[in-house]
Amino acid sequence: MVSLRNRIVSAFLCFAVASPPCFAYRANGPAGFNKDEALQAADILGVRSHVDRLLSMREREHLSDDELEQLLLMKSIIVRKILRGVLEVREACNKVDLELAYTYDIARREERRQAFINSLFNLAVFSELSTFYTLEPFMRIHKYFVTSAVFTTTSGSLGTTIATLSRIHGKYAKASHVQPPKVLDNVVDGRPVDTSGMPPLVTKFMDYPEPGDSQSRRDELFAMWKKHYHIDTTNREKLFGIADKKRASLGYLNTRILLLWSLHTFVQDFDRNLLSLLKMVRNPAVDNPDLLLSSRKRGQQFSSGYDEVTSLLNLQSSVEELKHLRQGNTQNVRRDELELQIVESALEGALEVQVAADRVDEELNYNYHIVLAQLLQSRAKALQLIYDANFIQSGILGIIAGKSYLSKNSITGDTMFVISGGIGTAMTTLATLTNHGFWRRVETGPTGLAQVMDLNPAENYRFSPFVSHFLNDIPPGSTEGKTRSELLNKLWAERKVSSVKISKQKNREALANMPSHKFDTIKLVTNRIKLLHSLKKELELFHVEVLDLLKTTEQPS
Number of Cβ within a 10 Å radius of residue 366: 24
Query: pLDDT tens across 139-188, in order?
Result: 877 778 788 878 878 888 888 888 888 888 888 888 888 888 888 878 88
Q: At what angle do helices 373-406 and 410-435 cross, to 10 degrees?
A: 170
What pLDDT digit, counting tens, does each position of 258-293 carry? Answer: 889 889 888 988 988 999 899 888 755 333 444 344
Please determine, for residue 206, whether its predicted confidence score (pLDDT) is greater than 90. yes
Summarised one tens digit per residue, pLDDT across range 70-99 is 888 888 899 999 989 989 998 998 899 899
CA dihedral 220, 221, 226, 228 (to 10 degrees): 110
Residue 500 has pLDDT above 90, yes or no: no
Mean pLDDT score, 489-498: 85
Q: pLDDT band for 331, please (50, 70, 90 cuts).
A: low
CA distances from 327 to 9, 22, 330, 348, 554 (A): 22, 44, 8, 27, 13
Q: What percent of the chain shows pLDDT beyond 90?
A: 12
The per-residue pLDDT for 557 is 53
**8 A C-beta contact, residue 89 and residue 268:** yes
Judge whether 511 and 498 are in contact, CB under 8 Å.
yes
Question: In the prediction, which pLDDT does 420 show?
Answer: 83
- Average pLDDT in the 38-50 region? 93
Spatial separation of the C-alpha atoms in residues 515 and 176, rounded to whole Å: 42
Choose the weakest-confidence range: 79-88, 295-304, 491-500. 295-304
**pLDDT exceeds cutoff 90 at 41:** yes
Q: Which domain holds residue 510?
A: 2-113+178-288+302-379+441-553
Q: State the pLDDT at residue 451.
A: 92
Stretch among 346-360, 372-386, 439-453 having the lowest mean pLDDT: 372-386
Q: Is residue 402 domain-resident?
A: no
At 330, the pLDDT band (50, 70, 90 cuts) reads low
519-548: string of b/e by CB count within 10 Å (b at 16+)?
Answer: ebbbebbbbbbebbebbbebbeebbebbbb
Report the 3 state secondary structure along 123-137: HHHHHHHHHHHHHHH
H/E element holding 521? strand 519-521
Nearest to 281 by CA among 44, 55, 518: 55
The answer, yes or no, to whether residue 204 has pLDDT greater than 90, is yes
Q: Output DSSP code: residue 221.
A: H
Answer yes or no: is 190 within a domain.
Answer: yes
Helices (H), 407-512: 410-435, 449-452, 465-471, 484-494, 505-511
Asked if residue 120 has pLDDT above 50, the reply is yes
When pLDDT is cut at 50, 70 and 90, the band that residue 307 belongs to is: confident
pLDDT band for position 47 (cuts 50, 70, 90): very high
**Most trustworthy range by pLDDT among 25-39, 180-194, 232-246, 511-525:** 511-525
- Are residues 476 and 303 in contact, defined by beta-carbon separation less than 8 angstroms? yes
User: Bridge-partner residues for 209, per DSSP?
Assistant: 216
Residue 455 lies inside a defined structural domain of this protein: yes
What is the DSSP secondary-structure string of 95-121?
HHHHHHHHHHHHHHHHHHHHHHHHHHH
H/E stretch holding 248 reads strand 247-248
Taking all residues of the chain, what is their mean pLDDT, rounded to a whole number? 82
DSSP state of 371: I
What average pLDDT does this structure show over 494-523? 87
Q: Radius of gyration (Cα) for the chain, nearest Å?
A: 31
CA 37, CA 140: separation in Å to the nearest integer? 83
Gap between the Cα atoms of 1 and 76, Å rounded: 8
Q: Coil, helix or strand for 337?
A: helix
Residue 232 lies in a domain: yes
pTM, whole model, 2 decimals? 0.75
- Per the domain annotation, does 460 fall within a domain? yes
Residue at 428 is within a domain: no
* Cα separation, 10 vs 3, whole angstroms: 11
For 217, the enclosing helix (H) or strand (E) is helix 217-229
- 148 and 139 in contact (C-beta within 8 Å)? yes
- H or E element at residue 504: none
Average pLDDT over residues 388-393: 83
pLDDT band at 19 (very low <50, low <70, confident <90, very high): very low
Residue 499: alpha-carbon gap to chain centroid: 22
How far apart (Å, rounded) are the C-alpha atoms in residues 162 and 330? 86
43-52, 135-144, 440-449: which is most confident: 43-52
Domain count, the chain: 1
How much is the pLDDT for 459? Answer: 87
User: Does residue 399 lie in a domain region?
Assistant: no
Q: Which helix (H) or strand (E) element contains residue 234?
A: none
23 part of a folded domain: yes
How wide is the angle at C-alpha 322 spanned by C-alphas 295 and 284, nearest 5°? 45
Half-sphere exposure at residue 529, Cβ-oriented, CA atoms within 13 angstroms: 16
Q: How far apart are CA 309 and CA 37, in angstroms?
A: 26
